[in-house]
Structure 1
Amino acid sequence: MIAIDLSGKTALVTGATGQLGRVMARTLAQSGANLILHYFRNQEQASLLQQELQQLGRSVFIVQADIGNMDDVVQMKHTLSTNFVMPDIVVGNAVSQYEWTSILEQNMQDYIDQFQTTVLQAVHLAKVFVPHMIEQRYGRMIGINTECAMQNGPTQSAYVAGKRGMDGIYRILAKEIGEHQITVNQVAPGWTLSERDLGIDPSERQDSAYIRQVPLQRRGTDQEIANVVVFLASDLASYITGAYIPVTGGNVMPTI
């Protein structure tokens, strides 16, 4: 039987207190990985998740940082190297939240925030954590992208601008550090059902129009996203790098 075993590995998940972040962290822990849980503001949620994962027998460390600020990420590295360990797996998941509207009406600060938490997050994480991966000739860099980066729909401009920029960073990084046996990939969720959504009556979700255009005729779940992340973090994906993998039920399909 083929199984995913991340025993002995340590994974950093940025934005670990969010809906998707928590599920990814749990799934990595269930696969044997120790965890570094990054949070920006929600220390209480980070502490609760830390306690939950420690009950699985994992070593779990929580760390605060503004992921869009290089000084904060450098300090995070210092904290980890002094008090815990450096990560073998880095999942870049954090992103700022904002209200979507048209380009003509979108606040300029929203574009800046998205750039900082997508493009600059990818750059900061690479500069700070890849050197350790190069030293050990092993590492996994995994960015969380979005199906919107292919859709380019109305009101998506700030989000898409950031995520498409992030896409370029990860693709180039894959070419630059591949010789060190470090893989760099992206997972692109569709409109995903979170724990919060699962508690809502399906008739009240107002997602029927979206579902009709999805070949699998349903929305995916956070767990289905996390499953792909764990696969890419494992040795089963050791020869996959530079990939943008939609987990969208076929709603978007990259072409050759």
Structure 2
Amino acid sequence: MKIDLTGKIALVTGATGQLGRVIVRTLAQCGADVVIHYKSNEAKAIQLQNEIKSLGRRAIIVTADITSLDSIMSMKEKVTAQLGHVDIVVANAVIQYQWTSVLNQAAEDYTSQFESCVLQSVFLAKAFVPSMIEKRAGRMIGINTECSMQNFETQSAYVAGKRGMDGIYRILAKEIGEHQITVNQIAPGWTISDKDRETNSERNEGYEKSVALKRRGTDQEIANAVVFLASDLSSFITGAYIPVCGGNVMPAI
């Protein structure tokens, strides 16, 4: 048994980021053609596109404002014209900001997290779910965070946005499940990425103490969970929030 996404088209938002690029590569390695969404790093997007094409897969790069329905709909039209209807949507992009206390956090930071977590999810659904309904198949996958369960100091804007995203995904799962479309979330822990490897900062003993597996996870381990949810192996899983964090947080019944 193996994960085979041959013939599938996958869109990854924030695809040039530390995690996004690994998700793109892994989807392509499993046979999917890939839409590489980026905000501003066109050079990295082109590099990633060339890498995916070298694997024998189709790949296009697109830029869009994930907080704008018009922009996302325009992206959908471009993708449909160049590749076809998207089968797998991975909502990975999020606006970055400086974390601080509730009393000091700027109001616009709460707005940015609502827009990039909640509205992005809504707009991606509006753009890509209708064609999934027609095909009676599809995968909507959101990248959430273990922070949604931790509620630590200075996380308020991020947690508020991701918890709002969680609500959208759970309700969407119920609304479109009859069409055999699954809607799930992956919640990474503090993940090792290329940035950590380049600076030799993979280890953090303070964080690792609270992790059941006593280590940080890798970007590849997160991407592995994404391709599982994208595949037929997960055909009866929907509405799930799945921590991929070595047991650092554990949802309870």
Please give the TM-score of this superposition, normalised by the length of structure 1. 0.97
Q: Could you tell me how far 1:200 is from its partner in structure 2?
A: 2.7
Matched residue, 1:255: 252
Q: Does 1:27 align with 2:26?
A: yes
**More divergent stretch after superposition (38-47 vs 138-147):** 38-47
Residue 65 of structure 1 is matched in structure 2 by 64
Q: Distance in 1 between matches of 2:14 and 2:34?
A: 13
Give the number of aligned pairs: 253
Superposed, 1:141-152 pairs within 5 Å as 141-152=140-151
Among 200, 222, 240, the alignment partner of 2:237 is 240
Runs (4 or more) in structure 1 with deviation over 4 Å come to none
Q: Which amino acid aligns with 1:218?
A: R
1:215 corresponds in structure 2 to 212
Tell me, in whole angstroms, the C-alpha distance in 2 between the residues paired with 1:162 and 1:246: 17
Matches within 5 A, 1:93-132: 93-132=92-131
Residue 206 of structure 1 and its aligned partner are, at CA, apart by: 6.9
Percent identity between the two aligned chains = 65
Amino acid at match of 1:42: N
Distance 1:180 1:108 in 2: 39
1:120-153 CA distances to partner (integer Å, 9 max, x unpaired)? 0000000110000000000000000000000011
Superposition RMSD in Å: 0.9
Q: Give unpaired runs (5+ residues) of structure 1.
A: none
Per-residue CA shift, 1:130-185, capped at 9, x if unaligned? 00000000000000000000001100000000000000000000000000000000
Q: Which amino acid aligns with 1:217?
A: K
Name the CA distance, whole Å, in 2 between partners of 1:187 and 1:68.
21
The code of the aligned residue for 1:171 comes to R
**Which residue identity is paired with 1:121?**
Q
Structure 2: which amino acid aligns with 1:62? Answer: I
Quick one: which amino acid aligns to residue 200 of structure 2?
A: D
Structure 1 position 207, deviation (Å): 2.0
Match of 2:139 in 1: 140
Q: Give the letter for the 2:65 counterpart.
A: D
Which position in structure 2 is the counterpart of 1:227? 224
**What is the match of residue 81 of structure 1?**
80
Worse overlay, 41-50 or 75-84: 75-84
1:31-42 counterparts in 2 under 5 A?
31-42=30-41
1:61-107, CA deviations, whole angstroms, 9 ceiling, x for partnerless residues? 11110111111001111111223212100000000001100011111
